[in-house]
Amino acid sequence: MNIESFFKITYGLYILSSRNKEGKLNGHVSNTVLQVTSKPVKFLVASHKDNLTSDYIKESGVFAVSVIQQDIDLEFMGPWGFKSGKETDKFTEGVSYRIGKTGAPILLDKAVAFLECKLLDTHDVGSHLLFIGEVVDADFIQEDMQPLTYSYYRNVIKGISPEHSPTYIEEKVSEAKGDSPTEGHQKYQCTVCGFIYDPEEGDPDGGIAPGTPFEDIPDDWMCPVCGVTKSDFVPI
């Protein structure tokens, strides 16, 4: 069986969000959002049982989906797709969102459209829960923007998926291209999120000046996208 063939299945990418009983908000990147009926309009989403968002959907019985626009970078995906709300507050100051009719948060940043649902059914499929909801509201946010597809995310943005994604396949990070780099110019790639450390650019936001070879970065430096340490990087 060639599981790489699954990458020929097409998906979009979304922020699935919800709230808990106390009104705390959370959400995560999801590629599993699917309209399943038209009368009434029902959507299905899949969320890993360990995701905080799953707990919130079970608790509140509501969820929202924002369609991510194509024009994003890996840094945008970091908090939503690689960090759990158990460790970090995602709907913080500076993030543009509004509370929908159901009380679920609707991410407005980098979003093309949204829908929000009242939970009807939950199915346990092992690692993930399938949530089926009836749509109570939907609209455009930035109608003229292109929605992001999984294929664009993988092939153009060079992003990968973490273990909680249903489409997770252990990655062999990209092969080295072109001539061997001269000393100190070797690029390194994060095996968790796909971020590439380029010594020429450094990571000024993380305190690493342009021109710093990977070897000279302090051991407590963290990947600016997903937060892992140097040991999760490999030379490319």
58 contributes a contact to ligand FMN by CB under 6 A: no
Min separation Cβ 215 and ligand FMN, Å: 28
Min separation Cβ 229 and ligand FMN, Å: 17
Min separation Cβ 144 and ligand FMN, Å: 24
Min separation Cβ 211 and ligand FMN, Å: 30
Tell me the two tokens of residue 80.
């939503």
State how far the Cα of 160 lies from the Cα of 89, in Å rounded to an integer. 22
CB 47 within 8 A of CB 54: yes
| Positions 18 through 37 that interact with ligand FMN (CB under 6 A) | 26, 28-32
Distances (CA, A) of 88 to 27, 92, 97, 110, 129: 11, 9, 17, 20, 22
State how far the Cα of 39 lies from the Cα of 158, in Å rounded to an integer. 38
State how far the Cα of 141 lies from the Cα of 108, in Å rounded to an integer. 7
Which of 53, 60, 66, 191 forms a contact with ligand FMN (CB under 6 A)?
53
| Positions 108 through 167 that interact with ligand FMN (CB under 6 A) | 128, 153, 161-162, 164-166
CB 169 within 8 A of CB 8: no
| Positions 80 through 99 that interact with ligand FMN (CB under 6 A) | 81-86
Contact residues for ligand FMN, defined by CB under 6 A: 13, 26, 28-32, 46-48, 51-53, 77, 81-86, 128, 153, 161-162, 164-166
